[in-house]
Amino acid sequence: MGGLIGRYALGKLFDPETELLCGLRPTHFVTFATPHLGCDGDRSPAQVPFISWTGDIPLAGWGIEKAVAAAAKPFSSLFMGSSGTQFFLQDGTEGRAPLLERLTQDDPEDGYYISALRSFVTRTCYANSSGDWLVGWANSSLRKPEELPRLNSSNGRGVVSEEPLDAALHPSDCLPLSPTSANPKTEFNGRPPSARNSRGTADWMVADPMEGRSFSTSLARTSSVGSLVMVDADEGGSHGGDGGFPVPVRAAPEGRLGDGGGAPPAQEDVALESSERTMQMLGRLQAGPWRTLSSKLAELPWRRIDVCFKGTKMPFFAHNLIQVTRKWLNWEGEAVAQHFAALFSQMEADPRVQRALR
């Protein structure tokens, strides 16, 4: 939940007049396995992966999943208090939207949440592509389920895919430093120029939010420009997700529905149940609170870095591995921490980032 806590704090501290946070220029915003779209018990991109996993239990999976999904919201509120209520977007009242929805808006009386997030030069999200039982891949990588890439990561032990820095920059910051620039990393062909420091919507980006877990936030000043870096660094496992979209949809077997064939009654019941589940999930994909959160966050450019721990000894504890909750136990996740350290140095040295801070 560190990424969510960070976004809340940013909205409270952001000064819309100076576009500074406590007098510092926002530079890099980074999250690790954060549930940006909140949590859900039912099938949707925000569903807690563990709940969907129960649906794969032989014979009784469908019933178990329904029971666990129904108990998720009251259980979360009972054992996690107000945080649990906010995760499941149950804290809204008449005339006041749930907190996670407000985090995608600006309100002079509440906080400038989306403006604060927009003010950063870069936004990056690390996401587990599999094995995260608290936060789904789509949720933490700000993608729609259909946008999730195919990864060849059966033996993954860390970062398996990452987008270029351009994905995290506003269009105006991606423009080459000079018309004659020959560095392919600084070229930004096909993007219309705009005023420097413009923090408008990136129409060319396609994004969607979702993540989960708990972390602490750390603020740091960079050495030369007095800028602000926000990184979510979890201290103890909280929310996580599986890899892809919760669970594969079990479509009704071909020839079992409407063909009048000789399918046994038991098989017809299974086919009808599968079809019903498919239609329910498709309905959830077309509507739901997560879509509102997703569309608002999609207005900003995000750099997505996909992580996989299938090749480790504990692949289903990806949520703990990506944050190295306990070094003696989750040491296999150190590769991600090392990747971030190198990534941060590269971003700080990139001339486009330095130019945006002037």
Is residue 124's pLDDT more than 70?
A: yes
Instruction: Report domain extents, the chain.
Output: 2-247+297-356
Is residue 274's pLDDT more than 80?
A: no
- Over range 329-334, report the average pLDDT: 94
15-25 residue pLDDT tens: 999 999 999 99
Among left, alpha and beta (phi > 0; psi -120 to 50; other), residue 166 is alpha
Band the pLDDT of 77: cuts 50, 70, 90: very high
- Write down the pLDDT at residue 149: 93
Q: Residue 18, CB half-sphere, CA atoms under 13 Å: how many?
A: 10
- Over range 211-234, report the average pLDDT: 40
Percent of the chain with pLDDT over 90: 58
Fill in the DSSP letter of residue 37. Answer: T
Strands (E), the chain: 14-15, 20-21, 25-32, 106-107, 111-112, 122-128, 158-162, 216-221, 227-233, 303-308
- Write down the pLDDT at residue 272: 42
- Write down the pLDDT at residue 95: 85
Which residues are CB-neighbours of 259 under 8 A, at least 6 positions away? none
- Write down the pLDDT at residue 177: 56
Sign of dihedral through CA atoms 10, 16, 21, 25?
positive
Fill in the DSSP letter of residue 209. Answer: -
- Over range 125-138, report the average pLDDT: 95
- CB-CB contact of 65 with 52 (8 Å): yes
- Write down the pLDDT at residue 57: 92
Cα-only R_g, the chain: 21
Report the chain's mean pLDDT, rounded to a whole number.
Answer: 76
Percent of the chain with pLDDT over 70: 68
